[in-house]
Structure 1
Amino acid sequence: MYWSARPFVRIFFFFAAGVFLTVQFDLFRSVSSFVLAGAVLLLLMIAYLLLPKRIPFRWYWIKGVVLGLAIVTTGVLVTKAHYPNQNTRKSLLKGTFLGVVSSQPSETDKTVKVKVKLLKGVDSVSVSESENVLLYFEKDSVNRLKYGDVVLFSTTLKPPAATANPDAFDYKAFLKTRGIALVGFVPKGNFKIVDNNPPNRLVGFAINIRKKILKALRTNGLEGDEYAVAAAIVLGYDEVMDDAIRQNYQRAGAMHVLCVSGLHVGVIYLVMLTLLQFLNTSKKKKIIKALLLLLSVWAYALLTGLAPSVMRATVMISFIIVGNEVERDKDAYNTLAMSALFLLLYNPGFLFDVGFQLSYAAVLGIVTFYRPVYRLLYFKNRLLNKVWAATAVSVAAQLGAFPVAAHYFHFFPTWFLVSNLVVMLFSAIIISTGMLFAVISWIPLLSGWVAFILSGLIYLMNYLIEMVGRLPWSGVENLYFPWIKVVLVYLILLFGYRLLLKKEHHFVIPLLSAILLLMIFLDVHRFETVSQQKIVVYQVGRKHEAIDFINGQYHLLLCDSALLNDAKILKYATENYRIKLGLSKRNQSFKRLDFDSVPALWGDGDFIVFKGISMVWIRNTKFFPIVKPLPVDWVILSGNRMPDIEKLQQTFSFKKVILEPSIYKSNAKKITESLTKTGVSVYNIGLDGAFVYDVHSGSSIPFQDVK
């Protein structure tokens, strides 16, 4: 198939490049939209008017480059229009504001999180119209808050904090891709609901329908895990699901069933396609069938509240439906690219959404690898053949999605074939039963029977998924998959597919080159991890402390006992960097030290020596001056009281002071000013992020370089 049959594939890549450049690098941020629009028109004029219509074939690429630049510029223009005020705020914005809730409220442990579109500032506070902010309302005060509420609130809006630890999840960058530049906390009594005017009436209507169905599920006896899974699978509502259920499905490789996506919309599509087979007798009836299919999948999207993941899947399926009914040669890649382009036109931020990337990666895997995998085996038995077809779909989807999934989750489920067979069987029945319940939920007795069946099916699926997750060798953990490795693996899959299955022998050299580059990357990373020697003092908030001593692939992470028991915070702060460095989990409390596990590490109480670097951790303000100050390389200060700097210097002779976030900002400023005058270097973790020291170079690594 030549590229001419896939014009939207090329258009998508050019457009996505424009979105990527605008969001990630803030390019063209200061360029006027009128100038960009003029540039697009100028490039199109050059391509179609100034360039000769019949130029030699060897120069035809010039026209393609010009058109490509026009599409890239269009991507920039659309992104700027979607995020008009992104990254324009650099300082605090304090005052009273009027805004409308533009997302469904999401509950956390102590707050309710909502996205709010600012309408105006009150009391001379200047804001940009339609600027998006993220607000955290005190939980006990917002029981009635809902989508479309117009809220008058007082708070301090500020840019979100950047990531404070190497390779940790960057929440600021995450919000940036969603067009949010300011966040704020609204205490109880600092807001008032003045009206309800949904930004999108259709979304508001869809959310209200979903609320009624969720209430009907509870009314008809679904509780606990069964209710949480039913809400997630049938309606895409996962706010009430606990971490244990998520962990079970993740380890079994079935997490995708809990996120309403292409699988769920595909089930609705296949069920309706089967029911409407009688309309295949004429061209007019086929058109009617296509319209009914579109109506069905969009009605399901409406029931799920038009969540972004459902919108992506529904748009994708819609293009497939239309493509199947158009009497012309179809190309699956072109159809997928067309749907992806449509979604980016609607919201350019989808390009950076994990669900968007995984959805299209899995579908591309199915389109590319399903038939070759299916043809590997043949079963005369009809049932076995169906099972093998389902297995082939799972394998193809994993081939497509695995590199992206490994990048984000560092995990590969080894029993995914078993779990996916369970999921495919139960999800189709559960989704169909759930849709039946949604239709008849207003009929008391009948809805109760259907809810009972739904609850039983979910209970059985949960049990089987948990059993799969408990099987030995249930997954490969701690996978380090940076984007360069993701790209190389995809290139190997692509070149191997063209060489082995399409018999295109000119892909031998590209395939071998990609494999060689991957081997070089793995060897370089292996050498770096074996020879590394680092000390890392993490930033884990005011209440916690954590320091990691790394010698090759041996390491010991020391932290306070409270942090040691809070796996969620510890994982958020340290796991990504630990995986990058190729380290296993080895965490200990300061109160129970075992330094024998790491060569060249010694300690006694608050005194620690590693690779000739001595340090003392000071957690209180009492010092006892001695005749001659004890020489140490570093002093790590923590606590909420101002230490006596003069007595500290009489007790210890040191070169560097590291300030923990538990020290108040005002005290940290005084300590820095006082010690800097005496020639002591001060590093403030609360301001500058984690302290990373490379023993080989004998210097700390700038935090931005670590990332």
Structure 2
Amino acid sequence: MRNFPRKLLYEWDSFLSMKYICLWAGLFLCIGVLASPYIIVPFSYSAVILFLLFLDILWWAWKNKKNAVIIASVLFLCLAGVMRMNMAEEQYRQLPRYLCDTQGVFTGIVMEEPVRTEYGYIRCKVALETVQYAPAEPTSVEGNVWVYDLSPKDHYTIGSRVQMKGKMKALHILRNRGKIDLESRYKSDGIIGKIYTEKRENIHFIEQTNDYYIGQKALAIRNFIEEKYKPYMNQERLPLLMTLLFGGHYQDISSQIIDDFSVTGIIHILSVSGSHMALLFSFLYLLGRWLRLPEKVTAFSVVTLVLCYAGISGFVPPVLRASLMGILTVGGLFFKREGYALNALGVAAMAMILGNPYLVYDVSFQLSFGASAGILIFYTPLLKIFHKIQKLPSWIAEAVAVACSAQILTVPLVLYNFHVFPTWFVPANIIVTPILEQVIIGGLASVFLLFLFLPLGIGMVSAIDVMLQIAVTFNGWMAHAPYASLHIGGLSLWGLCLYYEMIILYLLRNVIRKYKMPMMISSFIVAMTLFGAGYSWWNKADMSVLIPDLGREQGAVIVSKKHKIIYDKGDDFSVLTLPYEWQSFLAYRGIFTADILLLNIENMTKERAFPVNIPVKEIWVVGGDPYTIFPQLKSSQIPVRILRGETIELTDGTTVSTNGSSFHVTQNGKQIYLSGAKSFYQKSTDMPLLWIGGSNGYHRGVTFQDVNHLKPQCAVYQGYTPAGAGDIEELKMAGVDVAVIDDTGMTDVTFRDGLWQRE
């Protein structure tokens, strides 16, 4: 027992510092980036500490103290991540965000291919050059903006110099968990605002420049290839083929096909990713072996051609990431050195994070890194298990092992961002993915054959078209099969901890088996996690109210033991993506059906998309005619009730009362007030009340009389406008605990021990 600590440190030292040193280095650098918001250290102090830690590493290395070197290296890498992220944040703060909410004439260069959205307008990313405020002269500025051309007229592309007249609006990011981190993505791209041009004369093409030359040439090559394919391909499947080969074109693909690929869990193949690079690398390497080329010539040719392919795909960040990770990872597999492959993956991660630390928050980076690491770590053990199954062909065992190993580390990420688990991902990877991989290889080969030998090229394109149709058909069948996907929602904190604890225990299984102390420690950690999860479930609140961030819109989800009630109060200025926000919020919280949808449309005059697209049993409406605002309700089978002043009691004793504007929801000694344009006072009661509301357009949403009569214990303020400052002050002066969604983002309020409490 006396030698146990030294033996354990030796085992840990061997695992941590030798075989996977670069992988661990990449992970600790990521941890530093993630920890940066919570560690406030001045830049000069960070630089000094970093330098001292570097000297410390050299000193202990000279003294041959490996454990001290490991500890100092971990601190060095974490602090380096913190420092790099702070530098990126400072660089973003230096951009001219003061331009937001100003009216002027902006000039800039289009950075990426403009995209026509499903709403009919064109969106493009523009690098600003000048801004002019009449009657002053133009002033040079830096920074990138999203330009939304609502009435597209001129044709502009990558490298075009355009002039936009209008108001730059600040980025307003709805802060709901369980979706892609747009704030980090905007910072990564240097986006400082948005410009909307509603009239055709407010944006026009000036000239074509040589800026973003590689992007221009890449786009020209892709368009040229597409024109070559057109005479011989089904026009509905042509965008899908171009997406498979080079990414993009998502807006041209049928939404049904996109949904089907998402359901079966192979949506990643529609973007240029590490799997594309691995596939191309493997094909070219085997071709070189078949031609009996020297090893060095084959390696150089393969890397050159892969980089050329990345260039044609646009050299945008996802393609660069896929190129680097694919080349290094697959290179390790070719040399049959697992440690090399994982270390190469770590080097790739470090290089990309040092170049752009915001990638740590990017879901595509997380999934690429997690899937690659999962394949390298778990593929061989899983393959050994599947080989033990009698009569299972080797090619099926290998396909299943790859599909499962790629999912192991990414399941929590998939559930967090997409909220469903694809149960058919194994059959899809066995049947559909191999066909699409052949389509990718054949598609790239056919480009050359169309020039070298036209008849053979035409034949190959026709064959690709048939294979693509077969793949889409099979994938559609699986996507519409029973239980094609499990609607789970995001993992809880306890579930997340338990999941990764199991993975860590597997990775450290050799250490745990040898010594009793690690076994006891790991058992204790797992037991405490299970206890925490059990206590959290047992101590569940009697009623929870989940409030999303919907911008100017107001909404809430009331969850009791028997009922789920969704409330939405809209106006004519709500964001176009509101249905997506609702869908993402509900799916993340594991809500896929509801009993009642309460709609307040008193501030709405224009037709708009229905806010919620999950199944509901009934729709109750106040404030107007719902069939004018939501024409799709005319063909709906859901019962719709227009309320003007009534009280309805539900089966569990919950009572919903309204005056045609506001709602009172009461249940077993607690009540919720959903504020509308008209105040609604019921008989005075001592039941603790939760107030949910916001301003009514540009009018106050709460008065002194409201607060004095309702006596709210807790309040949630949504839809913040200039009129909201007085409302919030009114509530605070009355001693009410107020959560302002515009400041806090989504929030939860629960009823425990006779009190409404913010989580």
Per the shorter chain, which TM-score range? Answer: 0.7 to 0.9
Which residue does the alignment assign to 1:319?
328
Displacement of 1:250 in angstroms is: 1.9
Deviates more, 1:134-143 or 1:380-389: 380-389
Structure 1 stretch displaced more, 235-244 or 288-297: 235-244
Q: CA deviation at 1:636?
A: 5.2
Aligned to 1:101: 110
> Which residue number corresponds to residue 268 of structure 2?
256
CA distance in 2, matches of 1:119, 1:77: 30
Are the counterparts in 1 of residues 543 and 559 from structure 2 also a CA contact under 8 Å?
A: yes
In structure 2, what is the equivalent of residue 590 of structure 1?
620
Q: For 2:360 and 2:652, how far apart are their aligned partners in 1?
A: 43
How many matched pairs? 680
Residue 227 of structure 1: aligned partner: 238
Q: What secondary structure sits across from 2:217 in the alignment?
A: helix
Does residue 301 of structure 1 match 2:331?
A: no
Give 1:86's aligned residue: 92
Q: Distance in 1 between the 2:753 and 2:666 partners?
A: 15
In structure 2, relative to structure 1, the CA distance for the partners of 1:327 and 1:630 (3 Å cut) is closer
Partner of 1:336: 345
Q: Distance in 2 between matches of 1:381 and 1:365?
A: 25
**Structure 1 residue 695 corresponds to structure 2 residue 742:** no
Q: What residue in structure 2 maps to residue 236 of structure 1?
A: 247
For 2:504 and 2:620, how far apart are their aligned partners in 1? 50
Tell me whether 1:4 sits opposite 2:58 in the alignment: no
Distance in 2, Cα, partners of 1:682 & 1:5? 53
Whether the aligned pair in 2 keeps the contact of 1:209 and 1:305 (CA below 8 Å) is no
Where 1:118 maps in the other structure, the secondary structure is: strand
State which of 199, 203, 207 in structure 1 corresponds to 2:215.
203
Distance 1:700 1:493, change over 3 A: same
Bigger Cα displacement from structure 2, 518-527 vs 494-503 = 494-503
Deviations 1:18-44 (A, max 9, x none): 43344x45845x636xx7656544543
Contact 1:233 1:258 in 2 (8 A): yes
Going from structure 1 to structure 2, the CA distance change for 1:452 and 1:602 (only over 3 Å counts) comes to same
1:398 equivalenced with 2:404 (yes/no): no
Following superposition, the deviation at residue 428 of structure 1 comes to 1.9
Distance 1:187 1:567 in 2: 15
Partners of 1:554 and 1:639 lie apart in 2 by 28
User: Is this contact kept in 1: 2:214–2:314, CA < 8 A?
Assistant: no
TM-fit CA distance, 1:337: 0.9
Distance 1:641 1:186, change over 3 A: closer
- Of 700, 705, 711, which residue of structure 2 is paired with 1:655? 711
Which residue of 2 is the match for residue 457 of structure 1? 467
Q: Deviations over 1:415-466 (max 9, x none)?
A: 2211110133212211112112333456876554433322221111111111
Q: Percent identity?
A: 17
Paired residue for 2:614?
none
Matches within 5 A, 1:155-554: 155-163=166-174, 171-188=182-199, 189-197=201-209, 200-224=212-236, 226-237=237-248, 238-278=250-290, 285-320=294-329, 323=332, 331-378=340-387, 384-440=393-449, 447-482=457-492, 485-499=495-509, 508-509=519-520, 511-528=522-539, 530-536=540-546, 538=548, 540=550, 542=552, 546-552=555-561, 554=563
Against the structure 1 CA distance between its residues 613 and 119, is the aligned structure 2 distance closer, same or farther, given a 3 Å change threshold? same
Deviations 1:230-284 (A, max 9, x none): 1221211223234322221222222222232122222212221221114667xxx
TM-score scaled by structure 2?
0.76
- Structure 1 residue 492: deviation in Å? 0.9
CA contact (8 A) 1:578 1:584 kept: no
Aligned counterparts of 2:355 and 2:145: Cα–Cα separation in 1: 21
- SS of 1:331's partner is helix
Structure 1 residues 371-395: Cα deviation after superposition (integer angstroms, max 9, x where no partner): 2221224489999222222122212
595 and 584 in structure 1: CA distance in 2 versus 1, 3 angstrom threshold: farther
Where in structure 2 are there 5+ consecutive unaligned residues?
1-13, 598-618, 622-639, 642-647
Matches within 5 A, 1:77-156: 78-79=84-85, 85-88=91-94, 93=100, 94=102, 95-108=104-117, 109-123=119-133, 130-131=142-143, 133-141=144-152, 144-156=155-167
Question: How far apart in 1 are the matches of 2:132 and 2:76?
Answer: 41
In structure 2, the residue matched to 1:15 is 29
> In the alignment, what sits opposite 2:656?
602
| Structure 1 residue runs without a partner (length 5+) | none
2:633 is aligned to: none
Structure 1 residues 380-389 or 9-18, which shifts more?
380-389
Provide the secondary structure at the position in 2 that maps to 1:182: strand
- Are the counterparts in 1 of residues 379 and 401 from structure 2 also a CA contact under 8 Å? yes
Mapped partners of 1:170, 1:324: distance in 2: 32
